[in-house]
């Protein structure tokens, strides 16, 4: 099972290489020594991950070639839609046109989109978001894996089921050999090229994490995203040094007062500072917020979307807040499916070309058709849970998480089937946010 297709190196210039995928050119950053024109590589998130032999590449590509173009055809057909001619909503039509021409959407326009409620207008909104996804990102769909290595947490986030509030939860903390075994299975058996390692905050020391990441980078060809809560500038630097290249950290809400209310003793600014520092160090950033927090307004959500863009997110992660019984916010009501879809679509308008948009597991928990709907409303990324099944149920950030008891092959089958039906290639062709603007000039 392949999550990235090999590409052929066309040119090498300092740390940047141009990679050819059946005639499509993409730029990627290279850290491998001795990479030469004509070599075959796998790239993920804008990074060259590994070199592959010509024979392996040709075998994989011959299997892919037909599929590569037929998936594109399916996507092209499904997206066939001319928003500028839409008589249903002239304002949406004008916004799509302007965003397609490279203009930034204004906060007012975002608010207009988020507050649409008429069914035919919503249909136009979602189709337009899909149109923009197709225009700027083609049919590639990221399929990253996530391994939740420990549910120990020192934080008291008011919404989170693994916070210190939950005294009933059985805690686990995977050992280094367990983590390496899980990574080995994900990379070598299932073909994942990008993995997120996640835990509650403070579950491991930075030194332990650095040791684990170094070992992973030594043994496997994989892009590693870290998601261990706030580890400080020094911690970020050490894990970058160890080989991590991505950070998944939501800011949860852009409203400082709301942030303070749900994170006692914490300030939004320090979290944002950490995300900014990570970006400066060279980390790829996945960030976003919770949708449907108590007292959250539409203006807050618009600011959330704009903030994710300001933070240079290469992937937006926006998902519904789902109340957990063992938390102070146990009584909260989750947002409507339609609301979440509107946020994903609006995010696509706000970061039309810059960002991938994740359809989260939280959203899938809220609605069984979320993945399909999200992917045709601006989304182009999913994460599969590759945490060992014996631990999965204990990572209870919210109850009854989707895919909680599905094996990895079951999740892969289901995902590949869906992506095929939508004409999406389960591959990241290697364009990170910084490189994207340059790549579009190619």
**391 is an interface residue for ligand 5AD by CB under 6 A:** no
Segment near ligand 5AD (CB under 6 A); pick from 39-47, 206-214, 237-245, 318-326: 318-326
Tell me the CA distances in angstroms from 335 to 111, 159, 366, one per residue in order.
Answer: 17, 14, 9
Which residues, at least 6 apart from 339, have a Cβ–Cβ distance to it below 8 Å? Answer: 291, 292, 320
Site membership for ligand 5AD, residue 225 (CB under 6 A): no
| Between 30 and 385, CB nearer to ligand 5AD | 385
The maximal CA–CA distance of the chain, rounded, in angstroms, is 60
Among 3, 159, 228, 240, binds ligand 5AD (CB under 6 A): 159
Cβ nearer to ligand 5AD, comparing 242 with 366: 366
Rounded to a whole number of angstroms, the minimum distance from the CB of residue 66 to ligand 5AD is: 39
Which of the residues 59 through 98 are near ligand 5AD (CB under 6 A)?
Answer: none
Residue from the set 26, 29, 324, 401 that interacts with ligand 5AD by CB under 6 A: 324
Asked if 148 touches ligand 5AD (CB under 6 A), the answer is no
Rounded CA-CA distance 98/89 in Å is 15
Task: State the Cα angle at 45 between 145 and 83, rounded to 5°.
Answer: 100
Separation between Cα atoms, residue 331 and residue 94, nearest integer Å: 41
Q: Which is nearer to ligand 5AD, 71 or 290 (CB)?
A: 290
Closest CB to ligand 5AD among residues 213, 293: 293
Chosen residue from 68, 126, 321, 391 binding ligand 5AD by CB under 6 A = 321
CB of 160 to ligand 5AD, least distance (A): 4
Tokens representing residue 145 in the block = 């894996």
Measure the CA–CA gap between 373 and 192, rounded to whole angstroms.
24
Tell which one of 79, 194, 290, 366 touches ligand 5AD (CB under 6 A): 290
Pairing of strands 246-248, 223-227: parallel
Residue 366 in the binding site for ligand 5AD (CB under 6 A): no
Shortest distance, CB of residue 279 to ligand 5AD, whole angstroms?
Answer: 17
* DSSP per-residue string spanning 161-211: TTSTT--SSPP-B--HHHHHHHHHIIIIIT--SEEEEEE-TTSS-HHHHHH
Point out which span in 30-38, 72-80, 315-323, 339-347 binds ligand 5AD (CB under 6 A).
Answer: 315-323
Closest contact distance (angstroms) between CB of 324 and ligand 5AD is 5
245 token code pair: 């290249």
Nearest-angstrom CA–CA distance, 276 and 206: 19
Neighbours of 136 (CB within 10 A): 18
Q: Does 397 bind ligand 5AD (CB under 6 A)?
A: yes
Q: With CB under 6 A, what is the number of residues at the site for ligand 5AD?
A: 13
CB of 426 to ligand 5AD, least distance (A): 23
Binding of ligand 5AD by 131 (CB under 6 A): no
Asked if residue 322 binds ligand 5AD (CB under 6 A), the reply is yes
Q: Label residue 378 left, alpha or beta by phi (over 0 means left) and psi (-120 to 50 means alpha).
A: left
Of 7 and 229, which has the nearer Cβ to ligand 5AD?
229
Distance CA 92, CA 361 (A): 29
- Least distance in angstroms from the C-beta of 250 to ligand 5AD: 4
As a whole number of angstroms, the distance between CA 420 and CA 426 comes to 9
Does 250 interact with ligand 5AD (rule: CB under 6 A)?
yes
Alpha carbon distance 8, 52 (integer Å): 10
252 binds ligand 5AD (CB under 6 A): yes
Task: Please choose, from the candidates 438, 413, 435, the residue with its C-alpha nearest in 3D space to the C-alpha of residue 143.
Answer: 413
User: Which residues contact ligand 5AD (rule: CB under 6 A)?
Assistant: 159-161, 250, 252, 290, 319, 321-322, 324, 362, 397-398
């Amino acid at each position: 099972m392949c999550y990235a297709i090999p590409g052929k190196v066309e040119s090498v210039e300092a740390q940047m290489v141009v990679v050819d995928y059946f005639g499509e050119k993409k730029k990627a950053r290279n850290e491998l020594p001795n990479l030469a024109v004509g070599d075959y590589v796998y790239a993920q998130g804008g990074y060259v991950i590994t070199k592959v032999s010509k024979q392996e590449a040709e075998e994989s590509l011959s299997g892919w070639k037909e599929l590569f173009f037929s998936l594109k055809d399916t996507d092209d057909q499904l997206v066939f839609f001319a928003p500028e001619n839409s008589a249903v909503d002239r304002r949406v039509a004008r916004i799509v046109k302007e965003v397609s021409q490279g203009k930034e959407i204004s906060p007012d326009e975002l608010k207009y989109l988020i507050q649409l409620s008429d069914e035919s207008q919503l249909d136009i909104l979602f189709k337009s978001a899909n149109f923009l996804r197709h225009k700027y990102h083609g049919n590639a769909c990221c399929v990253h894996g996530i391994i939740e290595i420990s549910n120990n947490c020192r934080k008291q986030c008011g919404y989170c089921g693994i916070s210190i509030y939950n005294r009933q939860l059985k805690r686990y903390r995977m050992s280094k050999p367990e983590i390496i075994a899980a990574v080995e299975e994900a990379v070598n058996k299932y073909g994942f090229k990008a993995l997120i390692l996640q835990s509650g905050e403070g579950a491991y020391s930075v030194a332990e994490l650095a040791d684990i990441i170094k070992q992973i980078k030594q043994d496997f060809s994989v892009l590693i995203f870290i998601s261990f809560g706030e580890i400080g500038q020094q911690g970020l630097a050490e894990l970058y040094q160890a080989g991590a290249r991505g950070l998944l950290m939501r800011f949860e809400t852009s409203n400082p007062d709301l942030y303070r209310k749900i994170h006692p003793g914490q300030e939004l600014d320090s979290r944002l500072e950490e995300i900014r520092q990570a970006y400066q160090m060279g980390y790829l950033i996945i960030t976003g917020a919770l949708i449907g927090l108590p007292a959250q307004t539409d203006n807050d959500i618009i600011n959330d979307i704009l903030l994710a863009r300001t933070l240079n997110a290469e992937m937006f992660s926006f998902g519904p807040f789902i109340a957990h019984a063992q938390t102070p916010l146990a009584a909260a009501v989750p947002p409507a499916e339609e609301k979440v879809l509107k946020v994903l679509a609006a995010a696509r308008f706000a970061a039309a070309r810059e960002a991938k948009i994740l359809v989260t597991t939280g959203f899938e928990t809220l609605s069984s058709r979320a993945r399909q709907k999200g992917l045709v409303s601006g989304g182009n990324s999913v994460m599969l849970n590759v945490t060992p099944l014996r631990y999965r149920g204990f990572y209870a950030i919210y109850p009854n998480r989707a895919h909680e008891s599905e094996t990895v092959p079951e999740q892969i089958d289901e995902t590949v089937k869906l992506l095929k039906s939508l004409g999406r290639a389960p591959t990241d062709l290697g364009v990170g946010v910084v490189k994207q603007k340059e790549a579009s000039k190619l």
